[in-house]
Structure 1
Amino acid sequence: MTGQEELQMLRTLVKKQKEELAAKDEIIAKQNIRIENMVQALLQARKKLFGPSTETTKKLDGQVSLFESTEALAKELFNEQQKITVPSHTRKARQPGVRQEMLAGLPKEIEEYIIPDDEVCSKCGEDLMIIGKRIVRTEVTYEPAKLKVKQIVQQIAKCTQCGKEGSENPKDHFQKAAIPVPVLSHSIATPSLVAQVMYQKFAMGMPFARQEKDWYRLGLILSRSNMANWTNRCSEEWLTPVYERIHAELLSCEVLHMDETRIQCNREDGKKASSDSYMWVIRSGACEHIQAVLFHYSSSRKREIARELLSGFHGYLTTDAYTGYDKVENIRRNLCWSHCRRYYIDSIPLTSNGKEIPGSKGAEGRAFIDLLFKVENEIKDLPYEEIREKRQERSRPILDAFWSWVDETAAIPTTNEKLTAALNYSKNQKKHLETFLEDGRLPISNNLCEASIRPFATGRRAWLFADSQKGATANAVLYTLVESARANELDVYEYLNYLLTEIPNSDYLQQPEVLEKYLPWSFDLPDRCRLSHNYKKCLK
């Protein structure tokens, strides 16, 4: 081999090694980007688990500098911020009369301590003369719940004429006193007992296993299987007609919210016990004349379920960006800006201790959306037509600046996968994100529906799963009644007790119109079903 050939071979080898090193550097760079994205995802997950749950944006020093990259946008946003200033919150001093207002609706009892007749002056030993009384302190006592056994005794009378010779009726006739229909036949269950079981689980989040111990403490051996059976039977026999009527009334609204959340059902045909089923939730808009929440259990999240639930509805539907709602007919979709903002919040890089790194593009996107929410906070008390006009005047310029920022930022290469997802979400959903500008009745977010789902999600952490499809359906019925009662400021326990007392003794099968008076917004509900508290100072 000549020297020239040897030199050429060495050059080829060096070139090959350089190419291999370049390829390895590229792989290492990609791995570093992937590791950084994974670290950020871990920090975001830890922040969600252990950080504050509020989505309120904290004011950071130097936040105006977020828009220095685009001078025109910064100027426009600054002008909007000047027009849309929200006064800072200052804690108010406690108002006088708060305690008196809070205790005004509670029964009162006076516990008086008197001086014995034979007591004398502790200084000189002379007699004492009573000159008056004074209130030393005001306390609130708690009386534990009590159980009592009630026996239903029925009086029987015998006709004095029937059965006698010459009577039209040759046989003796016995007549019994009318008694109310039991909520469950051949059972110790009463409306008040079943209502308390339902209230504890579906309003207070106490699963049957914990209730079992509490009933034992009160002297009643009530198994969790019994409580589940009572709930399922009462739901199916008495409460489902009211549930179905609520669904029908919701479909007559013009503005609805909708969302879905997971539920595990252990015994479901064709599915593993650990697989996900879904609870679909429909909520009437704040502008509607009825306030109601509907929970619907389904084994899947297919779009056919949404189409079936919304069959007959014509109006605006506020949701997230789930494509299952796209095929629903006769609706106008209005997407939630809170969901959009969460994408940008997730894209903000964090330090190792979970603090946001200032100056990120994710923070810029969040700041735009925060301005939209500031506008909504200022105009929320105006008439709906004025709200629509103010949105065109104030929110439209913010949106125009936001979309320009999205296009500009999307053109910049980035290794932040979360930011890319946020930008793509914004661009893909632009049409439906702007729907709220059309009508002043439309909300800017789906938070109202999510607030109704929260008690279900919180309770799910305690009871974990539904054992059967019948139990999951009963959950849907009971959460519907509980959350609808709360939306109409009803006493949940008294409302359930009233339904279980009255519906079994009503003729709703022959006269379905009687169900109208059992709906949670009905004016025919008795006063005991309504929260009578009229707090003004306490809630400030």
Structure 2
Amino acid sequence: MRYNKGMEKSDLTAASATENQAEIAALKARVSELEVLVKYYEEQFRISKHRQYEASSEKSEYDLAQLSIFNEAELFADINVAEPELVEVEKHYRKRTRLTTDKLPENLPVEIVEHDLPECERICPECGGPLHVMGRDSWDELVIVPAQVKVRKHVRLVYTCRECEKDEYGVPIVKAAVSEPVIKGSFASPEAIAHIMTQKFVMGSPLYRQEKELQQNGIQLSRQTMSNWLIRATEDWLELVYEALHEMLCNHGVLHADETTLQVLREPGKTAQSKSYMWLYRTSGDAVQPIVLYDYQPDRRSKRPAAFLKDFKGYLHTDGYEGYHSLRSEITVVGCWAHVRRKFDESLKALPERDRESSNALRGKRYCDHLFELEREFSSLAPEERYVKRLAQSKPVLEEFFEWAVSLNAAPKTGIGIAVHYALSQRKYLEHYLLDGRLEISNNRAERSIKPFVVDRKNFLFANTPREAKASAVMFSLIETAKENGLNPFEYLVYILKNAPNWNIRDNPDALNLLMPDSARRSICATATSRTPA
């Protein structure tokens, strides 16, 4: 500050004090900002540490089953009632047995190996008389034989007429009827293609591993040939079944959707490191015949689900991704309370242990736990009864939760702030599960269905081309749909690849319907029954 002769000393002192107060206020504001930032970084550090070193399960000692703000036993307990008298029970010991869930199917073939004494040893060691069979000891062993590989040689008999052969022309030639191959001009069989598919998409064994395994058995079958078989069989036959399942899927009133990333190396206009996406759509718990379909797309834009669901009208369970919120008005998006609970759970784990018990993060998590507990109670009810129960019991809890969330005014760059903001921004969609008793409180059904692809992706890592990625989506769809319907994926794929080339499924809808999971199950079971020896 420049000193002017006309300025009084008191004026200078007041001006300096004002400047100092402004500087102090600015520094205090800066310190407050830095404290919030440090707290945020500490929370992120604890979350990162938890993800790296601790279990990924969201269950904890703070769950509703262990300790709850909605504990009715504590709420309605009568302190005037005397405690029951305790009676000491005499100690006793119980023989421990190993509990196991291992179980062998009853229809496995049984090989009987009988161990007998040689005839010369069937003599009593005491009196020298003949021995007779008193009883039999028996035990079972599970025998596993590695995959057997063989060549199926087709020999077709060709007939002609001896009498007509005497003439110079007009000799008829009659050939025995044969089934159409799955790939013309190839030595691929339905069983071989189905085996390669299930090894890759069920067992997570990439083609290069399968190539090495076959080489150990003396079979030189390159991964390029196997890849060509899978793509050709998918494009010729499996895509037709996929499209029929897609049409059936869109006729349902309740669906689930989710998406995950996929790397495609040779995608036009994109680098090999860029992200593509595998979208998932599936039926809900009310479906008699579950359907799980994957859809490969080069990006995550909202037009992708809009195109896939262009014929769908009803409820769609999703996570909080905004791309679903711009769908047509005929589609009602239903939010996921599991994601809300996860946000509060992460916020809780980001806090020091000493602060968790009285935290807002724990309170928010317990609100979610209470809603899930009510859903478990309603799980056995019919949709109509569940709808009434939700309005009577779940809706008040839900409304109380949002009133509490609004009253917090939590700082946005904190764990609790992120959780509260997510819940409030999704409120419209989170309340929609109360609209219909068929709806579910979460989108966990879709997350469980997309997990097998995520696990297998760790093994095959990427797709080489968009064509391969699209074929992978079709194959994975039929495999997961088979599993959801209680079908063996290998048997279902063999059933399709054997019959599709011979049933004219492109022009005959009735024949195509016979390849749907429900029809296939009956046919496969009937075939297995006929082969079982009496």
TM-score for both structures, normalised by structure 2: 0.85
Quick check: 1:119–1:128 contact (8 Å CA) kept in 2? no
Aligned to 1:425, the other structure's residue is in SS state helix
Partner of 2:88: none
How far off is 1:128 after superposition? 5.5
Q: 1:373 to 1:164 in 2, by over 3 A?
A: same
Q: Kindly state the Cα deviation for residue 159 of structure 1 after the two structures are TM-superposed.
A: 3.1
For residues 68-98 of structure 1, what are the alpha-carbon distances to aligned partners after superposition, in whole Å with 9 as ceiling and x for unaligned? xxxxxx999958xxxxxxxxxxxxx989997
Cα deviations across residues 315-372 of structure 1 (Å, max 9, x unaligned)? Answer: 11111122222232211121111111112112224367x9983222111111001111
Provide the rounded CA distance (Å) in 2 between the counterparts of 1:346 and 1:277: 28
SS at match of 2:334: strand
**Equivalent in the alignment of 1:425:** 422
**CA distance, structure 2, for counterparts of residue 238 and residue 33 of structure 1:** 59
1:52 maps to a residue whose letter is: A
CA contact 1:297–1:472 (8 Å) conserved in 2: yes
Unpaired runs of 5+ residues, structure 1, are 68-73, 80-92, 533-540
Q: Give the drift of 1:289.
A: 2.9
| Alignment of 1:438 onto 2:435 | yes
CA distance in 1, matches of 2:128, 2:232: 73
Q: Given the alignment, which residue of 49, 55, 58 partners 1:55?
A: 58
Deviations for 1:413-432, whole angstroms, at most 9, x for unmatched residues? 54752322221222222222
Match of 1:453 in 2: 450
Matches within 5 A, 1:139-218: 139-162=141-164, 165=167, 170-218=169-217
Check conservation: 2:124, 2:130, Cα contact below 8 A: no
Alignment of 1:16-35 (within 5 A): 19-20=22-23, 23-35=26-38
Q: Give the match for residue 90 of structure 1.
A: none
Where 1:267 maps in the other structure, the secondary structure is: coil
Please report the RMSD computed on the Cα atoms of aligned residues, expressed in angstroms: 3.3
> Which AA in structure 2 matches 1:116?
P
Q: 1:102 to 1:63 in 2, by over 3 A?
A: closer
Residue aligned with 1:461, SS: helix
Amino acid at match of 2:470: T
Q: Which residue of 2 aligns with 1:512?
A: 509
Q: Is this contact kept in 2: 1:494–1:529, CA < 8 A?
A: no
Structure 1 equivalent of residue 42 of structure 2: 39
Counterpart AA for 1:343: K
SS of aligned partner of 2:467? helix
Deviations 1:256-304 (A, max 9, x none): 1111111111111111111111111111111123210111111111111
8 Å CA contact 1:351–1:357 kept in 2: the answer is yes
- Letter of the aligned partner of 2:246 in structure 1? H
Name the CA shift for 1:422/1:151 in 2 (closer, same or farther; >3 Å): same
Provide TM-score, normalisation by structure 1. 0.84
SS in 2 for 1:434: helix
Aligned-partner Cα distance in 2 for 1:252–1:62: 39
In structure 2, the residue matched to 1:462 is 459
1:327 corresponding residue in structure 2 = 326
8 Å Cα contact 1:120/1:126 also seen in 2: no
- 2:364 aligns to what? 365
Once structures 1 and 2 are overlaid, which stretch shifts more, 377-386 or 323-332? 323-332
In the alignment, does 2:346 pair up with 1:343?
A: no
CA gap 1:269/1:77 in 2 versus in 1, 3 angstroms: farther
Tell me which residue corresponds to 1:115: 117
Aligned with 1:325: secondary structure? helix
Q: Aligned partner of 2:375: which letter?
A: E
Q: Does the CA contact (< 8 Å) of 1:158 and 1:173 recur in 2?
A: yes
Query: Does the CA-based 8 Å contact 1:495-1:529 persist in structure 2?
Result: no
For these two proteins, the number of residue pairs brought into alignment is 506
1:35: Cα distance to partner?
3.0
Asked if 2 retains the 8 angstrom alpha-carbon contact of 1:37 and 1:417, the reply is yes
d(CA) in 1 for partners of 2:286, 2:32: 53
1:65/1:54 CA distance change after superposition, 3 Å:
closer
**In the TM superposition, what whole-angstrom CA distance separates every residue of 1:509-530 from its partner, at most 9, and x where no partner exists?**
2223311010112266423599
Task: Report if the CA contact (8 A) 2:61-2:67 is conserved.
Answer: no
Structure-2 separation of matches of 1:148 and 1:473: 31
Counterpart code for 2:361:
G
Deviation at 1:391, TM superposition (A): 0.8
1:345 aligns to what SS in structure 2?
Answer: helix
Question: Equivalent residue for 1:137?
Answer: 139
Distance (Å, rounded) in 2 between the aligned partners of 1:97 and 1:265: 43
**How many Å separate the matches in 2 of 1:96 and 1:298?**
46
Range with greater deviation from structure 2 (116-125 or 478-487): 116-125
**Structure 2 partner of 1:288:** 287
Structure 2 unaligned spans of 5+:
77-95, 530-534
Contact 1:334 1:433 (C-alpha < 8 Å) held by counterparts: yes
Compared with structure 1, are the counterparts of its residues 77 and 477 closer, same or farther at alpha carbon in structure 2 (3 Å cutoff)?
Answer: farther
For the Cα contact (< 8 Å) 1:490–1:529, is it kept in 2?
Answer: no
8 Å CA contact 1:350–1:356 kept in 2: the answer is no
Alignment deviations for residues 419-460 of structure 1 (CA, whole Å, 9 cap, x no partner): 222212222222221111121111111111111101001001
Deviation string for 1:355-396 (max 9, x for gaps)?
983222111111001111101101101111111111111111
Q: Is the 8 A contact 2:123 2:131 kept in 1?
A: no
Q: Which amino acid is 1:230 matched to? A: W
